[in-house]
Amino acid sequence: MIHKNVEYMGELPHNTWRKIAINTWDLDRGGKILSRLELNPEPAMEYVKKLNESSEEKVTLTHFLGVCLGKLQEEFPLLRSTVRGRKIFQRKNCDVFFHVSRVNEKGEEDLSGKVIRQVNRMSSIDLATELNSKGREIKKKEDTTFKSIKKLISFMPNFLIASVLNISSFIQIRLNIWSPLLGTQQDTFGSLMLTNVGVFGVKESFVPFVPYSGIHVICCMGAVFDDVVLRDGEIRPGKKLILSWSIDHRLVDGSTAAKMANRLTELFEKPGF
């Protein structure tokens, strides 16, 4: 006789983002590096505190990290490169895509974001001014980044979504062609992605690659937390910050990753660069 293997209560409803997600990822067979970097955030936090004394816009550790990631891309060009077929192309600009969590008009949790161009040329205050403005627009008004494509997919049957996303990715990334008719913004995701789970109180988390984004490096920022630390030869209470990295091994090897980690540690310990 044949029986059901598992007893289910029924299919769960899902919003547009979940509909995209469930049609995006298959079993992961790609080569990637998962790495965590433990940092001392205290000098950077003090630096940000001083910036806020003179800044009209609130500056956070996320903005400071975003500027650091811009400088890393400048110094390590493979971080701003894209794999197109079997070839690697270096991007002209050092951009960072920042995830933004929002609640849509139906009261559902939704995920969006905004790419900030040429972050390597910005100060933390410059980045805070631009990102905070765009973030407020996405949270309180409308999802300007993915409005058109999400509207299209919300009416699309599941069996078509993966094909539409793959075709769109092929046109924009592989062929490097863009048109407003595709329903997306030009170069939607930029060259590197930063997401902050620390705002939810999470200390660390690894983030999967999104195939249609053309992104090969993702940095996930956790919450700053108190711990016992060894600093200046002294064991004492202190603060820690963990950055979790998902890196495409085709672009970055262990040696380059180690140099990146050392440089980022230096930027956090001497933040007045």
Q: What is the pLDDT of residue 192?
A: 94
What digits encode the pLDDT tens for the residues 186-196? 888 999 999 99
Domain 31-145+185-269 classified CATH 3.30.559.10?
yes
What digits encode the pLDDT tens for the residues 34-71? 899 999 999 999 999 999 999 899 999 999 999 999 99
The whole-number average pLDDT for the span 129-137 is: 83
Does residue 104 contact residue 15 with C-beta atoms inside 8 Å? yes
List the chain domain ranges.
Answer: 31-145+185-269
What digits encode the pLDDT tens for the residues 82-128? 888 888 888 888 999 998 876 666 666 667 888 999 999 999 999 99
pLDDT at 159 exceeding the cut of 90: no
pLDDT at 6 exceeding the cut of 50: no
Q: Cite the DSSP H helix spans in the chain.
A: 16-22, 42-54, 61-75, 124-140, 147-154, 158-169, 254-269
pLDDT at 152 exceeding the cut of 80: no
Q: What is the pLDDT of residue 72?
A: 96
**CA-to-CA distance for 219 and 242, rounded, in angstroms?**
10
* DSSP annotation string for 5-67: SS----PPP--HHHHHHHTT-------EEEEEEEE--HHHHHHHHHHHHH-SS---HHHHHHH
β-pairing verdict for 96-103 and 87-90: unpaired
Say which residue, 20 or 220, is predicted with more confidence. 220
pTM of this structure: 0.84
What SS3 class is residue 209?
Answer: coil
Q: What is the pLDDT of residue 112?
A: 80
**CA-to-CA distance for 270 and 264, rounded, in angstroms?**
10
Q: What is the pLDDT of residue 12?
A: 59
Cα atoms in the 13 Å half-sphere on the side-chain side of 175: 10
Mean pLDDT, rounded, of the chain: 85
Backbone angles phi, psi at 233, to 5 degrees: 75, 10
Q: What are 102's strand-pairing partners?
A: 110
Q: What is the pLDDT of residue 206?
A: 94
Q: Residue 163: is it exposed, middle or buried by C-beta count within 10 angstroms (0-12/13-18/19+)?
A: exposed
